[in-house]
Structure 1
């Protein structure tokens, strides 16, 4: 056991010695490594000190190379527009139709881009180049404007709108292909010209369009304008204007068709904000011609107001409707059309009071009236005028609303048209136009009949003749109302006023028959004699006469004689008068109803005073009835 222990100790001691030997070796290696690290660190510092200056120089060289590259690029950029000028000048100094529109527009785009690049450099040395490019761009744009104008001219040959009006065929438009080219040209012209165009002014291409197409519109509509003026002239100066006989309807249709077509062309070429101004400029010259035409028609109407006032009403209706349609389709030209219409509208407004005053003056200036009581032509003329006016209710309603109810009764003084001065009633835009016309017609009839009545008192002798004259004119008025649209337009109150005039004439006529009827009044009763029986009981004429004295009988005879003379005279006058059928029938019946009962009563009492000799009693009851009945036939 002791031996084994010693052997184990010896073995462990040997291992310890080996470990110590290895430890010594590790320390020696560590020292060598530490010495090597020190040398390596020293070498690194030496290398860094040697390479540092070289690296700095390399960085500076890199910066310099970058700067040189940028300078070279800037030089290329500066010289590039100069090189481009030589290339583009050949194209831009030519014409678009020779080099091709697309190529020409591309050249303008490249030149414009080059100019913008030069302007961004802000180098003084580039000023000359920028001036040359600007001049070249100006030439190119001017040539493009010329091509724009030439392309418009190709489709701007004047037409005769009457063909489209009569056949309903569409008005010629600029083709879609050309519209696209024109739009492209306008867009490129705008890019350059917008910088030099004052705010609110049209661009050069828009001005070119307005000039070319404006001339086209004016020349195309010229014949229609001439036709309006020529159709206003009449062979017979006294002929009344017939609705639709003037060319204003065709003129307005031509304007509407051509303007709306032109608006469609504009919408395909220009930008949205340009549509209105370009249309206004394009239509300006033809609108001025239209206004001049209306002014000429207005002069003609004023010179022939009695016969041609209806033309003014027709023009107002036609032009107003055209203006409304243009406004709905284009949103423009409403005020221009309204301004052109204004003179005729004022003339139409003044015509209402002027016609009333003229009617009054014409009657007052009459030197004689028909001595047979016949009506005068002016009555039919005035009623014909009212009948014709019913065909123009729309424009007349507008005019009368602007005047206000009764505004036509004002008499305008020279140089001061009170008809144009608004009143409170003129602001009643909701007033019924038909009712206003009925009031005007009633006022016209009142002026006519009242002035005729006043004049008849001066020029006609005798109430019966005056009454017949008034009744005949009332009959003409009534007949022309019931036989036309006036019948449905005039209110019941208007008919009532006419009945008043009819009753007035009837009363005046029957008053003339009071003289013979006064001889039929029996008031000669004695106190002792019995009162004659009332109607319904038999009358004994012989008995009545026996109760009378000789003087009373003579009085009865004188009454019959006086009645006969007065009655025969009035019958003769009645038959000599020229009466309208309804007037003769109406007046005859009134006289019959008035005289027949009185005469019958008087004859029944006193006819025996003549004892059948017909010396005093000329008519018996039957004969009197026949004579009175003949007054109605």
Structure 2
């Protein structure tokens, strides 16, 4: 049994050694394999480095070849695109050469747009080989734009009348003509295209530099100027009156018709411009189109101004009328177009300044003309300057609207001391509101009228005292002048304005009456007695009663009985002296040239001063010549009859 166990253990050991041998054999093979792998890896690494050194440059070249290939494809595509306009150039050229009328405007504009796009693409390519084609396309585009401009020019000229008579539209109250609606669309389309192309090609941003704007301004400005030139000439010629001394009458100058035609033509032109040009172009194109006509207006107004200055006293009213008409024209155009106000203001300025200065110059002219009178009528008759001055004020009322505007700018009393030439509102044209004849405007004008009348009467009074010297004739002369002034106020529209201020004339009338009746003192002094009488026949006061309005009757015989011989001779002398002075007064009164109301006024004043005194004196002393008329020439009824002849 033990022998069996030992044999089994020996067999197990043998088996384990056999397995170890097998493992060792495998390990040796693994080691050898590892060495081989290491050797292979070494060789592989060396080979890889060689491949890397060779493959790197090849990869770079490959990428370059890929980029080149892509570039070539792009160039080929670009060339293909460029070939398209080149291929179609002949077609576009055919359209361009046909012109917009034959080809049709939309088709023509589309062709130019395509040419512009092709031209832009070819310029962007910057290929030398396309330079000739670029030049050809540029030529075609330029030709196309030129033909568009020519088409605009032709169309506008055909639509613009060669001659237009504004009076036809004014007298028949018809609107001035504008371009037809179908032409608006065509002209506007051409303008839009050409102006856009002009600015895209580096043209000026100013609308007036656009070729289309230049064409429009040239054609239409000539049309406006030619339509207005005859009216401008008429305005200047109608200022020259047949009688240079005649006062200008409202509406007799052609300036009103001239302005009416200008307003109608300019507003019609503005409608044309609004339908052709863009909003930002309306103002400059309208201003430029109207400029030649406005220049002619300025020249006409300067000519009128020169005429007014040379005939200030008779034609200053024309200045007032021009101010109103051109101011209204300016306001109407500004309301309808929003433009031209400043230009019209500049044109009106010379006339407006003359109108302002005329107010002070007329006052000075009144002083100067009265001061230059070398003689005055010896019979006290008035002189023409009185009527002429009042006619001037009467005429001014007809121009109260513009005068009100002018006086507002001067201020109340601004016509004094030369301020009329200094004050003012610059170049501005007054608004419509300034022509409202408010109470203030009437008051200022009324003040000017009273200043004028006061200036006239002061100058006449000073001249009459110097030349006539005698108080009665000075009184008659001034009373006549005052009567003419008042009559011409009452018989005209001045009455409503000056009625509250006529107290000024009452003051002057009292002065004139005082001067005239001063001579009555010399007559009346013969009717005053200082005779002392006895109490017999005397009244309660110790003097005989006059019998005038009293209850007692004067007994002339009784009074005379109480007088001494000397007193009686004195009474006789007083009657004789009175008769002589009274007859002289009556003769002188009848010899004066008096206005009807003046003669009545002064006769009444004489009667009121002398008749009561004479009646009293006659009552007391008429028995001095016992009715023989040797000393007592007039009784109470006969002297009353004489007074009646003075009226």
Query: Do they superpose with TM above 0.5?
Result: yes
The answer to whether the aligner puts 1:180 opposite 2:185 as a matched pair is yes
What are the Cα deviations for residues 560-585 of structure 1, in whole angstroms up to 9, with x where unaligned? 11111111111101111111111111
Once structures 1 and 2 are overlaid, which stretch shifts more, 250-259 or 374-383? Answer: 374-383
The answer to whether the aligner puts 1:162 opposite 2:174 as a matched pair is no
* 1:17 counterpart residue number: none
Once structures 1 and 2 are overlaid, which stretch shifts more, 203-212 or 130-139? Answer: 130-139
Matches within 5 A, 1:206-217: 206-217=213-224
Matches within 5 A, 1:49-448: 69-93=73-97, 95-121=99-125, 129-157=133-161, 158-194=163-199, 195-202=201-208, 203-411=210-418, 417-418=421-422, 432-448=440-456
* 1:4 counterpart residue number: none
Distance in 2, Cα, partners of 1:153 & 1:395:
41
Distance in 2, Cα, partners of 1:233 & 1:316:
19
Distance in 2, Cα, partners of 1:352 & 1:522:
57
Offset at 1:86? 4.0
* 1:460 counterpart residue number: 468
Offset at 1:66? 7.1
What are the Cα deviations for residues 401-450 of structure 1, in whole angstroms up to 9, with x where unaligned? 112211212247xxx9435599xxx9x97982111110111111111111
Distance in 1, Cα, partners of 2:507 & 2:146:
81
Distance in 2, Cα, partners of 1:443 & 1:488:
17
Query: What is the SS of the residue equivalent to 2:632?
Result: coil
Offset at 1:612? 1.0
Query: What is the SS of the residue equivalent to 2:176?
Result: coil
* 1:502 counterpart residue number: 509
Conservation of the 8 A alpha-carbon contact between 2:115 and 2:141: yes
Name stretches of at least 5 consecutive residues in structure 1 with no aligned partner: 1-57
What are the Cα deviations for residues 464-485 of structure 1, in whole angstroms up to 9, with x where unaligned? 1111111111111111111110
The 1:549/1:123 distance shift into structure 2, 3 A limit, reads: farther
Distance in 2, Cα, partners of 1:341 & 1:216:
23
Offset at 1:511? 1.5
* 1:52 counterpart residue number: none
The 1:440/1:324 distance shift into structure 2, 3 A limit, reads: same
Query: What is the SS of the residue equivalent to 1:410?
Result: helix
* 2:53 counterpart residue number: none
Offset at 1:459? 1.9
Name stretches of at least 5 consecutive residues in structure 2 with no aligned partner: 1-61, 537-541
Residues matched between the structures, number: 568
Distance in 2, Cα, partners of 1:129 & 1:432:
79
* 1:532 counterpart residue number: 544
What are the Cα deviations for residues 120-155 of structure 1, in whole angstroms up to 9, with x where unaligned? 446566566545433432332122112111111112
Once structures 1 and 2 are overlaid, which stretch shifts more, 339-348 or 194-203? Answer: 194-203
Matches within 5 A, 1:555-566: 555-566=570-581
* 1:580 counterpart residue number: 595
The 1:288/1:545 distance shift into structure 2, 3 A limit, reads: same
Conservation of the 8 A alpha-carbon contact between 2:184 and 2:276: yes
Query: What is the SS of the residue equivalent to 2:399?
Result: helix
Conservation of the 8 A alpha-carbon contact between 1:350 and 1:419: no
Offset at 1:527? 7.8
Once structures 1 and 2 are overlaid, which stretch shifts more, 562-571 or 254-263? Answer: 562-571
Once structures 1 and 2 are overlaid, which stretch shifts more, 107-116 or 510-519? Answer: 107-116
What are the Cα deviations for residues 187-215 of structure 1, in whole angstroms up to 9, with x where unaligned? 11011112433233512211211111000
Distance in 2, Cα, partners of 1:126 & 1:504:
107
Offset at 1:119? 4.4
Distance in 1, Cα, partners of 2:479 & 2:83:
106
Conservation of the 8 A alpha-carbon contact between 1:141 and 1:189: yes
* 1:568 counterpart residue number: 583
* 2:48 counterpart residue number: none
1:487 to 478, 495, 516: 495
Question: Normalization by structure 2: what TM-score?
Answer: 0.83
Query: What is the SS of the residue equivalent to 1:233?
Result: coil
The alignment's C-alpha RMSD in Å is 2.7
Offset at 1:324? 0.8
Distance in 2, Cα, partners of 1:351 & 1:502:
29
Question: Normalization by structure 1: what TM-score?
Answer: 0.85
After superposing on structure 2, the runs of 4+ consecutive aligned residues of structure 1 that deviate more than 6 Å are 58-67, 428-431
Distance in 2, Cα, partners of 1:561 & 1:124:
137
* 1:514 counterpart residue number: 521
The 1:575/1:75 distance shift into structure 2, 3 A limit, reads: same
Distance in 1, Cα, partners of 2:423 & 2:310:
19
Distance in 1, Cα, partners of 2:90 & 2:138:
14
Offset at 1:261? 0.5
Distance in 2, Cα, partners of 1:73 & 1:472:
110
Distance in 1, Cα, partners of 2:514 & 2:530:
25
The answer to whether the aligner puts 1:589 opposite 2:604 as a matched pair is yes
Distance in 2, Cα, partners of 1:461 & 1:393:
40
Distance in 2, Cα, partners of 1:507 & 1:583:
13
Conservation of the 8 A alpha-carbon contact between 1:410 and 1:418: no
The 1:94/1:219 distance shift into structure 2, 3 A limit, reads: same
Offset at 1:490? 1.6
Distance in 1, Cα, partners of 2:216 & 2:584:
87
The 1:89/1:286 distance shift into structure 2, 3 A limit, reads: same
What are the Cα deviations for residues 6-45 of structure 1, in whole angstroms up to 9, with x where unaligned? xxxxxxxxxxxxxxxxxxxxxxxxxxxxxxxxxxxxxxxx
